[in-house]
């Protein structure tokens, strides 16, 4: 099957998964504001698996830029990855592991110990699991419109998400009985899946300043500085498709911004705020103490289950830390949400989510709310799918 390099997905370990018809994926870098800004919480979250991920990613990025790539089979057979409870990076592949021998040697030369990374052979590639996930979610959503009782089963299915550790799609459900498991087998039996019982809830948002993570007058948090069609502003979340009817954003009694674009369609939840007052600028430093400075270097990455992540929102003066639970998580009609386990509260909606990749802090997206056992957000890659001219800076 012919593949394109248009989508470089390091889903799991920055492995670049190429898929036809998917546009380029860009994320934005930012790092700590000086060495003194490195807090104990950040240090504690950087496990051996994080370091192994960064080294693996660096090798693949270099290989991508080479005239002749030697890691095509690695990309084609990538099946996901996790960072386990011991901080070890586990990488899954749907082919014989001997294909990884050159990569192992290069990782050792880069200082990655065999104790810090493990390769495991599985049945399905990540690309195959993505197809399973999308088809299962289509079946679930189609069943919601039935009037023969099947809709009651579908309503109990909160989401479907790729579980690389079990090499399957997790059906996240609430209130299942024996008949519901039988219906899963009837409708999902052609796919690799497992049922995970969970719960769902929602999150409200709350309160004003011009730093990433601080409160704004919509009641949520400022995400990160960016431009849309060359116009300066920032991204946040307002949880409504009727964003055009919302009043201008204020700093006290003074207008400083206007929402000029947005999406809230079940696949994404974000809004772009245009700065309309020339006296106001969106800063690069977060609202946290110490503050962290965003940098505008572009990367083409996604991240593994278990990868350390951080969120800056309005309800705390410090960055919240956690890990990625699912990189592609289904809510409503979308399958590409980010699900993490950091803490959050009302007012954090729109706050910036980021991670450390190769020593830089990379913007992943913004926080939207709570779902099941985690916190979900809209990825920057998804935002760019709606607005290709959205750029950081």
**pLDDT tens digits, one per residue of 259-306:** 999 999 999 999 999 998 888 888 777 888 777 777 655 544 568 999
Overall residue count recorded for the chain in this entry = 393
Contacts of 375 (CB under 8 A, 6+ apart): 203, 311, 322, 339, 340, 341, 342, 343, 344, 367, 369
Query: Alpha carbon of 306 to those of 22, 47, 212, 301: distances in Å?
Result: 25, 10, 24, 15
Q: Cis omega (within 30 of 0) on the bond before 194?
A: no
Inside any domain, residue 191: yes
CA distance 277 to 233: 11
pLDDT for res 5: 29
Give the residue from 188, 152, 350 showing the smallest Cα distance to 257: 350
Inside any domain, residue 333: no
CA distance 205 to 156: 26
Question: Quick check: 360 pLDDT over 70?
Answer: yes
pLDDT for res 46: 58
pLDDT for res 264: 95
CA distance 133 to 160: 6
Average pLDDT over residues 172-176: 90
Q: What is the mean pLDDT of the chain?
A: 81
pLDDT for res 14: 31
Angle at alpha carbon of residue 347, lines to 228 and 341, rounded to 5°: 90
Contacts of 329 (CB under 8 A, 6+ apart): 159, 161, 335, 336, 337, 338, 339, 371, 374, 376
Q: Which residues on adjacent β-strands are paired with residue 151?
A: none
pLDDT for res 29: 26
Give the residue from 237, 283, 213, 228 showing the smallest Cα distance to 260: 228
pLDDT for res 21: 23
pLDDT for res 3: 34
Question: Quick check: 372 pLDDT over 70?
Answer: yes
Please state the domain count of the chain: 1
The number of beta carbons lying within 10 Å of the beta carbon of residue 295 is: 15
pLDDT in tens, 46-105: 578 888 888 887 887 787 777 778 888 888 888 988 988 888 999 999 999 998 999 999
pLDDT for res 393: 64
Average pLDDT over residues 32-40: 33
Question: Quick check: 346 pLDDT over 70?
Answer: yes
State which residues form the domain around 176.
130-197
pLDDT for res 308: 92
pLDDT for res 332: 82
What percentage of residues in the chain have a pLDDT greater than 90?
54
Residue 24: exposure state from Cβ atoms within 10 A (0-12, 13-18, ≥19): middle
Give the residue from 392, 348, 393 showing the smallest Cα distance to 370: 348
Pull the structure tokens for residue 95. Answer: 């082919």
Average pLDDT over residues 111-137: 94
Average pLDDT over residues 226-253: 91
CA distance 342 to 320: 6
Average pLDDT over residues 121-126: 96
Contact predicate 387/272, CB 8 Å: yes
β-strand pairing of 168-173 with 193-197: parallel
Question: Quick check: 200 pLDDT over 60?
Answer: no
Inside any domain, residue 373: no
Inside any domain, residue 39: no
Inside any domain, residue 55: no
- Of the pLDDT bands very low, low, confident and very high (cuts 50, 70, 90), residue 206 is very low
Inside any domain, residue 114: no
Give the residue from 344, 326, 325 showing the smallest Cα distance to 335: 326
């Amino acid at each position: 099957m012919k593949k394109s390099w248009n989508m470089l997905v390091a889903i799991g370990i920055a492995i670049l998964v190429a898929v036809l018809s998917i546009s380029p994926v860009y994320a934005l870098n930012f790092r700590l504001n000086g060495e003194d800004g490195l807090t104990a919480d950040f240090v504690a979250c950087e496990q051996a698996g994080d370091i192994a991920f960064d080294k693996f990613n660096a090798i693949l990025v270099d290989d991508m830029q080479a005239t002749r790539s030697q890691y095509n089979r690695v990309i084609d057979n990538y099946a996901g990855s996790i960072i386990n409870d011991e901080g070890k990076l586990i990488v899954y592949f749907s082919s014989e592991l001997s294909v990884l021998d050159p990569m192992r040697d290069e990782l050792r030369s880069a200082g990655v110990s065999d104790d810090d990374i493990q390769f495991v052979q599985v049945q399905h590639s990540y690309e195959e699991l993505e197809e399973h996930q999308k088809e299962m979610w289509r079946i679930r959503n189609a069943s919601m419109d039935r009037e023969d009782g099947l809709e009651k089963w579908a309503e109990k299915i909160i989401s479907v998400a790729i579980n690389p550790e079990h090499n399957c799609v997790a059906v996240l459900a609430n209130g299942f009985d024996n008949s519901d498991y039988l219906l899963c087998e009837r409708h999902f039996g052609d796919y690799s899946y497992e049922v995970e019982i969970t719960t769902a809830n929602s999150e409200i948002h709350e309160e004003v300043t011009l730093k990433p993570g601080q409160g704004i007058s919509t009641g949520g948090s400022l995400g990160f500085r960016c431009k849309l069609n060359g116009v300066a502003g920032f991204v946040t979340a307002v949880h409504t498709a009727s964003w055009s009817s919302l009043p201008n954003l204020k700093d006290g009694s003074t207008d400083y911004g206007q929402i000029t674009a947005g999406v809230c369609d079940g696949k994404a939840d974000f809004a772009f705020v245009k700065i309309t007052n020339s006296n106001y600028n969106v800063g690069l430093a977060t609202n946290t103490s110490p503050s962290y400075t965003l940098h505008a270097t572009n990367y083409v990455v996604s991240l593994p289950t278990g990868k350390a992540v951080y969120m800056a929102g309005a309800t705390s003066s410090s960055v919240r830390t956690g890990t990625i639970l699912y990189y592609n998580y289904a809510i409503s009609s979308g399958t590409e949400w980010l699900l993490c386990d950091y803490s959050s509260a009302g007012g954090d909606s729109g706050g910036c989510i980021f991670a450390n990749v190769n020593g830089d802090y990379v913007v992943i997206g913004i926080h939207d709310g709570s779902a099941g056992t985690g916190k979900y957000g809209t990825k920057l890659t998804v935002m760019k799918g709606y607005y290709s001219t959205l750029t950081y800076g």
